[in-house]
Structure 1
Amino acid sequence: MKWTFTILALFIFAGNSEGQTGKPLFSWAEFMARQSMRWDSVSTNPNTGLLLGNGLLNTNIYKESENAIRFDIGRSDLSGIAMPLSGGRTGKMLLKTRGKITAVKLELDLYNATAKGIISTTSGTIQFSSFVPANGNVVWIKAVGNRLEKNIRWQFVAEKQAEAVVPVIRKVLNDQVCVQSLGDNAGFATAWRSVVTPAESTMLVAVGYDPNGMQDELKEAQNGIKLFTIAKLPVMQEAHRKWWHQYYQQNFASVPDQRVESFYWIHRYYYALASKKKGNSLPPAMSYLPDLTNTGDQYSEWLNQLFDGLAKSNVLHDNGSMKDSLPAVALTIPQMLLQNGEGKLKVFPAIPASWKNVSFDKLSAGSNFLVSAKKENDTTSFIKIYSLKGDSCQLQTDMKVNMVTSDKRSELSFTVFETGGKMNISFTTTPGETIFLSSGYEESKRMIVPVKPVLYANWRWGLK
């Protein structure tokens, strides 16, 4: 049966991860802290490293030997055709220890896009932190040692691009530099500068690239260091954190399985790290994703098999044929929460039976809508549709809808019909309009906040 309604929209409310004042309804710092990755050991395998980047410059942190931690330095536009042998890596900066490395406690802080940790050796400890500024061309590393590790030692090792060419390191002004040719007048340069005080040692590394024979690769590299030092560390850190915080807060998803939830947020981090895009979704789905007609329990089983057998440490690499596929696998999670197909938006279409509480905010449904929703005690209690362009919308939900309102119109016409236990609601939107659908009048049901993890509650991705 089909019903058509025109209602007077008396109840206009804000139901998202921000309150009516625009302030967050929860602590993003605390929520993202449970997504951070931790390493209780360190490997010489680069596929297990801590990754930092800003879409152009990047570093991978892992073990070089018993007496060194390495920071691989890379630049994305050098990979592929320009530098096929090294994948864009220009060299490695070694943090050398006097004693043998005996233990580590490392963390990749996703919210602030920063790596930090403590390296214990037979001669003392070294604390370090590192980030790649969102709006800079430099890798920043700070190290503080004690006992025999107090005097920090650095060594840059250039990546050879041809067997017959030995990289030459020289000093230019305040920087050590290494300029290498790529043929056809193209070239790249790595510049680095160490700043030592009695309390700490700071290393700055930058990379310049000239594909057109203008011989300005060294200038670009040194300018990266110069601009960072002029701007000052606190300013660069604040701008860096602001960029990442705004990126994460563009959309939100929380599920009661901590292993799944962290997997999603880690890959949102990797996507921005590689592309520096602030989009509302991950890249398009790949063909190896499961059939979208699968049930929530089938999705959950498929993900758990993946996690148990394939995904390793930093969840980006594995030892099998799916080495490069794991980032796109993260698309499975938002597709469990929201699907856009058959001419309709399906809210919570594939939720496992064990997920009683789920919430998401501003997930993209194509180019027309951003969708928010909340499920409590296995019941959908609230849905919000933000119209980007203005269009007709058909929505399918298991929620018993008692309220449909607009933030722009006092009257809203819509049609409803029920089939297969689902309510199908159709309405027309205007650009910039928000439509609210609710099962009742209780204010708390409209607030999108993190759910409590009950499955793998203490899970941390990283290296044990």
Structure 2
Amino acid sequence: MKKLLLLTIAIWYLTAGCYSQTDWKSFMSRQDMTWTRLPQTWYEAPFMGNGSMGSYICKEPGKNAIRVDVGNSMVHDHRTDDASIYGRGRLLIGYFLLHPVGEIKSGDLRLDLWNAETTGCIRTTRGEIKLRACVTSESPYILVEAEATAGEKEFTWKFYPENTDSPRQLNAIRKGNKNHLKKDYVSNPAPQLSARNGLNLCWQPLLAGGGTATAWKEIRKENTSTLIVSNAHSFPGTEALQKAETALASLQEADLPVLRKAHREWWHNYYPQSFVSLPDKKMENFYWAQMYKLASATRTGGGLLDNSGPWQVLTPWPNAWWNLNVQLSYWSVYPSNRLELGMPLVDAIGNNLDNLINNVPEPYRKDAAALPVATDFTLTGATVNVPGTEKKAQVGNLTWICHNLWLQYRFSMNESILRNTLYPTLRRAVNFYLPFLTEDKSGKLHLKRTYSPEYGTAEDCNYDIALLRWGCNTLLEASRILSVDDELIPRWKQVAEHLTDYPQDENGMMIGKDVPFSRSHRHYSHLLMFYPLYLLNAEQNGSKELMEKSVEHWHSLPGNILGYTYTGASSLYAAFGEGDKALEKLNGLFARTLRPNTMYMESGPVIETPLSGAQCIHDMLLQSWGGKIRVFPAVPSQWKDVQFKDLRTEGAFLVSAVRKGGKTSFIRIKSLAGEPCILRTDMANPVVKAGNATLTLQKEGEYLLDLKKGESVILTAAGGNIPVINPVGGEGENYFGLK
């Protein structure tokens, strides 16, 4: 009877997922950012977003006012006569200032992640103003509720439209940077302010046509004010005006609780898609801030994850950057089981193939395509140069972003992504390489001069050699899966088999043939064969030593060691099972470059570096390259207790695991697609605790599980019990914000 009861309980845990009892509201309150002094900049402030619209709140520097910014990642310029980052870049919109009656003396704020709201209190010489703000998830509004004491009830709101010229141009003017100044730049028309039917409107027209509309109204009731803002963009027409106006025209005070309820429900459904808890409070806070940031910045139907997300400010980088930034931004989407956030990238590539084709010189457009360094959301940018010339031919960007599409496919096993988007795009990306390969006397294929991002040109450039090798192997695999008899299969096989080895010297990987890595450089483009491509990996003799030598040399040259230099090194070490070194490098991001709100800034704002930091954590906890699920492959020795639930792997498996006292005690795997399941674990003598799967030892630490689609299995150490997955670690001060 006792055995039957235990079996019943095990099946209940297995099928219902009841091995997790997380109190999400309480758990997420541990992750909130808190401010005991008021922020004054983008990289200090609490930020909010719904995937396209965004806002942040801070004290306006030099003014006695509180700023509520208006952002929208869909707002772009569309100049047909200028496809550069000046003519096709993101644009600023404007901001509201709350002008209090008295002088601001102090304030506090809290970014409530569970409800995706910012709350706080502003204290002045005349009283207090309590704030509550959000960007509604299910509707296009910024809502700011302000409740004042008697002495502050006459506070006012005012909208200040921004200059709609290129932020790169404006940033260059402000900083006196002549190198970034476009001399023949023509300004967009001035914003137009108006009011009608009880609404305030701002129309920001563009030279190219279309424009941006912002509409707002204030509902005032005694000492409480609710500011409601909507924003829309259109091109080439002016329908954005009607869209923004319509969004506000019928909205009444009674509708606000409904909006807030739908907003909160969206976020309450979003977070539990997976669960991660770490013994390091700082790292745990950081991780969940990135999960919040992801869904604030992008989602299905929303904006692409570019350098700024929906929080555009003056910057030299007001576009999508394709030689590293977009790729890194999306990596944590896949293992965190939040695949819907990756669809804007899939759609951007799939819907703009013609523009990708037009990015290569005309003679190659029949069967090739490419991505320049920077584009707008339609992937329109400068023409990519031809390899083999003295010009910078940065060819690999499209192939690299195709690796992200491959991850979206592999983590979902959604064959339509492979068939309709990845295969035709990668085929053209690889085709742009093929005319520039030459064969030496030994039969090895060599690539003419291309450009390693931000470093220099070289023959057999490692950036491109790694991506070309991966691209050919992936096309061969994709054609097999799709049963496509492509005429280029023999050529892909030849390239995969005969492409030259990676140029290297006594310091590890070089930039390319005859070009050593000899100066400080933030990019790790010359190391992609190790990560994220895993062409050289931990299962190959000598690869680990080569990786370590390359990374140590890369970091030994001071001067340009910046944020993603640390996150890249962290993931590289994690790929080879070096958890302590992976954590050491990730801590380098915190020590030098991470900002109080987990944003990142060099000469302008960029969001990819912290997002890639979340991927470093994933890489320590779970890896799935090479057709194998690796549970706790690179956990730092100081992380004795770690728990996660429903992280996702390649092959579309959901994996949950518990590590206690430095030992793995529990693993649950659910197959969503019926793919082959090979598990690598350090669990001592694992046994099947629940589920019908058979566990077959392949070699030490590696097991085959015969899981069918929809089936789950629970493994524990011999004699172990099924634990309840709950937060690890104790309470403590919330780490991020301003104290």
Using structure 2 for the length normalisation, give the TM-score. 0.56
Query: Which whole-Å deviations, capped at 9, do the CAs of 1:268-289 have from their partners, x for residues lacking one?
Result: 1111111125861587587852
CA offset at residue 349 of structure 1?
Answer: 1.0
* CA displacement 1:245-272 (0-9 Å, x = unmatched): 1111000100100101111110011111
Residues 1:167 and 2:176 aligned together: no
CA distance in 1, matches of 2:690, 2:728: 27
Q: Distance in 2 between matches of 1:397 and 1:46?
A: 43
Paired position in structure 1 for 2:226: 202
Q: After superposition, where does 1:151-300 map in structure 2 within 5 Å?
A: 151-161=154-164, 165-213=189-237, 215-226=238-249, 228-229=251-252, 232-276=255-299, 280-281=337-338, 288=565, 289-290=568-569, 291=572, 292-300=575-583
Instruction: Give the corresponding residue for 2:139.
Output: 136
Please identify which structure carries the higher helix content: 2
Structure 1 residue 321, shift from structure 2 partner: 8.8
SS in 2 for 1:451: coil
Identity among equivalent pairs (%): 32
1:313-392 superposed matches below 5 A: 313-319=596-602, 323-324=606-607, 325-392=609-676
Q: RMSD over aligned Cα, in angstroms?
A: 2.7
- For structure 2, the 5+ residue unaligned runs are 1-6, 80-84, 166-186, 301-332, 343-403, 405-530, 533-563
- Specify which structure has the higher proportion of strand: 1
Residue aligning to 2:13: 14
Q: Is the 8 Å Cα contact of residues 255 and 453 (structure 1) preserved in structure 2?
A: no
CA distance in 2, matches of 1:43, 1:118: 13
Superposed CA deviations along residues 316-344 of structure 1, whole A, max 9, x for unmatched, are 12347994422222210011100112331
Distance 2:38 2:28 in 1: 23
Instruction: Tell me how far apart the structure 2 counterparts of residues 139 and 96 of structure 1 sit (CA, whole Å).
Output: 18
Work out which of the residue numbers 431, 434, 441 in structure 1 matches 2:709. 431
> Separation in 1 of the partners of 2:643 and 2:601?
30
Select the residue among 580, 589, 593 that pairs with 1:306. Answer: 589
Could you say which residue in structure 1 is the equivalent of 2:73? 76
Between the aligned partners of 2:136 and 2:583, the Cα distance in structure 1 is 36
- Tell me if the contact between 2:22 and 2:725 (Cα under 8 Å) persists in the aligned partners: no
Work out the CA distance in 2 between the residues paired with 1:31 and 1:363. Answer: 18
CA separation in 2, counterparts of 1:17 and 1:99? 56
The one-letter code sitting in structure 2 at the alignment partner of 1:72 is: D
Q: What's the counterpart of residue 4 of structure 1? A: none
Q: Are residues 205 and 302 of structure 1, via their aligned partners in 2, closer, same or farther at CA, if it must alter by over 3 Å?
A: same
Residues 72 and 204 of structure 1: CA distance in aligned 2, closer, same or farther (over 3 Å): same
In 2: Cα distance, 1:391 partner to 1:104 partner: 54
CA distance, structure 1, for counterparts of residue 212 and residue 710 of structure 2 = 46
Could you say if the C-alpha distance between residues 321 and 437 of structure 1 is closer, same or farther in structure 2, counting changes exceeding 3 Å?
Answer: farther
Higher relative contact order (CA 8 A, sep 6+): 1
Moved >3 Å (runs of 4+): 15-18, 79-88, 162-166, 226-231, 281-288, 318-324, 440-443
Sort the Cα spacing of 1:344 and 1:228 in 2 relative to 1 into closer, same or farther, 3 A: farther
What SS class does the counterpart of residue 30 from structure 1 fall into? helix
Between the aligned partners of 1:17 and 1:63, the Cα distance in structure 2 is 47
Does residue 40 (structure 1) correspond to residue 315 (structure 2)? The answer is no
Deviation at 1:50, TM superposition (A): 1.3
Query: Unaligned regions of 5+ residues in structure 1, if any?
Result: 1-8
Asked which structure has the greater CA Rg, the reply is: 2
Q: Once the two structures are superposed, what CA deviation does each residue of 1:327-374 show, in whole Å capped at 9, x if it has no partner?
A: 222210011100112331111111111111100011111242111100
1:433 and 1:35, CA in 2 relative to 1: closer, same or farther beyond 3 A? same
Does the CA contact (< 8 Å) of 1:42 and 1:62 recur in 2? yes
| Residues paired across the two proteins, number | 443
What's the CA shift for 1:453? 4.0
User: Equivalent residue for 2:735?
Assistant: 460
What is the distance in 2 between the residues matched to 1:228 and 1:352? Answer: 52
- Name the counterpart of 1:6: none
What's the CA shift for 1:231?
7.2
Question: Which position in structure 1 is the counterpart of 2:363?
Answer: none
Q: Do the aligned partners of residues 158 and 300 (structure 1) sit closer, same or farther apart at CA in structure 2, a change above 3 Å counting?
A: same
Q: Where does 1:388-427 land on structure 2 (aligned, <5 Å)?
A: 388-404=672-688, 407=691, 409=692, 412-419=693-700, 423-427=701-705
Give the Cα–Cα distance (whole angstroms) in 2 for the partners of residues 302 and 17 of structure 1. Answer: 38
CA distance in 2, matches of 1:245, 1:384: 24
